[in-house]
Amino acid sequence: MLKISEIFQSIMGESTFAGLRGGIVRLSGCNLRCRYCDTQYAYDRFSLRSVEDIINLLDSFNTSLVLVTGGEPLYQEETLDLMKALLGKKYTVLLETNGSLSIAQVPSGVIKIVDIKCPGSGQSDKVYWKNLEYLSLSDELKFVISDSDDLQWATKVVQEEGLGKENTVLFSPVFDKISPSVIAEWIVENSLPVRLQLQMHRLIWKEEVRGR
């Protein structure tokens, strides 16, 4: 049984899949406490659902795309079973993870969107750097940017680790903390091999992010 915060269908708001309709499974529980977290309700409120029940609900959405997110989905070991089952049903499966836990056991075929926590999150010391070795070519890395210090820090990581050559790297502004134009100008001025990402769901539904 999995601790589930919510399951719904919506427009994907982040990653290179942004704009596509799909099912979203938000698991409860997280091992981090980022300063800008917009899903704090997923920390400890949940209902217990079986893998079969979850897939039956997703099937009713009539979509082939599913995002498994949180909270932190890898905080629950049973999430691996859910993703294996979804792949077996021929879903395109996205996993959004905070990057503090190993992705080594994530089933092959799952597209992983891995956070690299910047200092502005208050959790940058929790980054599990070995995850960079476990990335497949379809996986993506995300830096959530709070301020100019985060921009400089993220740029240093990208350059020193040689990121952006094989995997898509996303720079995403914290909503209402830093202007997207600042990040856009920085990317251009520094010729960075990254993609600017806006939280499409926040732009569409403003502050109403739950169930979207």
Per-residue pLDDT tens digits for 127-159: 999 999 999 999 999 999 999 999 999 999 999
pLDDT at 201: 76
- Whether 108 is in a domain gets the answer yes
Q: Residues in the chain with pLDDT < 50? A: 212
Per-residue pLDDT tens digits for 170-197: 999 998 899 999 999 999 999 999 999 9
- Whether 147 is in a domain gets the answer yes
- Whether 211 is in a domain gets the answer no
- Residue 186 belongs to what H/E stretch? helix 180-189
Q: Whole domain around residue 89: which residue ranges? A: 2-205
- Whether 212 is in a domain gets the answer no
Structure tokens at 72: 């932190």
Task: Report how many domains make up the chain.
Answer: 1
CATH code of the domain containing 72 = 3.20.20.70
- Whether 210 is in a domain gets the answer no
Report in angstroms the alpha-carbon separations of 14 from 96, 145, 188.
10, 14, 21
pLDDT at 39: 85
pLDDT at 176: 83
